[in-house]
Amino acid sequence: MSRVVVVGSTNTDMTVRVPRIPAPGETVLGREFQITGGGKGANQAVAAARAGGRVVFVTAVGMDDLGERALAGLRREGIDIHLVRRVSGPSGVALIFVDDAGENSIAVAAGANAELRPEHVEPLEQILEPGDVVLLQLEIPMATVEATVRVAVKQQARVILNPAPAQALPDVLMHSVSLVTPNELEVEHLTGVTVNDEIALTRAADVLHGRGISTVIVTLGPRGVFASHEGRSEMVRAFRVQAVDSTAAGDVFNGALAVALVERRTLADAVRFGSAAGALSVTRMGAQASAPHREEIEAFLRDT
């Protein structure tokens, strides 16, 4: 069975529930406080594992208690972490506010994530096979992202890039990525197109197609998901749920999407599977903790 290989960040999330996100200079009295596993890479790896995938995760953590706790959590999920690097200095940390509408504001200190180097992904050449899916984000150095893509292309693995946090991407990278999954703010950053309707989404997707990407998927939160592939586009409706915390919803979507693509589902089915996982995640607090298991996703799809 093919695998999902995630290369990316690992953080410890420190989350405070607040009635509203503080404005600059404002102090807001919060309520619950949680310390949980996070980081876009780790979130996606956990989401993929819970969605039924065989997952290999490449990341870097510090020689500290937060790093030990992060690795213990990944092991409990059955994730292959033999390529994880331990580096000197602190592990990554994210400070998160979540308001009563489920919206969030996040600040990240990269810590060990900034030390994940191109040479650390070279061993992937020995394990990647055609049919595997490599899932990447942008909370690690760009040189490491580029090195991972080169190895994946050489080994004929499919590459999904979740371009978050948004930043400029070199053309050579774009031409090697199979599928890109920005949200609406990230796609605007990448293309310069304001995506306020489906026509604008199609225009933005065409910009990315013109840069060499065959499949563009834009996540739109409660508006759904826009998918464009081989000259055809489709808006996939969002599932209606009561959101309590949107943290990591995009990560959960990407992890489940990767599993569905490894299983050779159609793009439409893969997007629906990922959307169901993401919808379930926003009904729960936390990042990795909110990722649903496969039986939950399948039950949700049957009942919706």
Q: For residue 65, indicate whether it is catalytic.
A: no
The single residue of 132, 251, 269, 303 carrying the catalytic annotation is 251
Backbone angles phi, psi at 205, to 5 degrees: -60, -40
What's the chain look like in SS3? Answer: CCCEEEECCCEEEEEEECCCCCCCCCCCCCCCEEEEEECHHHHHHHHHHHCCCCEEEECEEECCHHHHHHHHHHHHCCCECCCCEEECCCCEEEEEEECCCCCEEEEEECHHHHHCCHHHHHHHHHCCCCCCEEEECCCCCHHHHHHHHHHHHHCCCEEEECCCCCCCCCHHHHCCCCEECCEHHHHHHHHCCCCCCHHHHHHHHHHHHHCCCCEEEEECHHHCEEEEECCEEEEECCCCCCCCCCCCHHHHHHHHHHHHHHCCCCHHHHHHHHHHHHHHHCCCCCCHHHCCCHHHHHHHHHHC
Q: Which positions are catalytic? A: 251
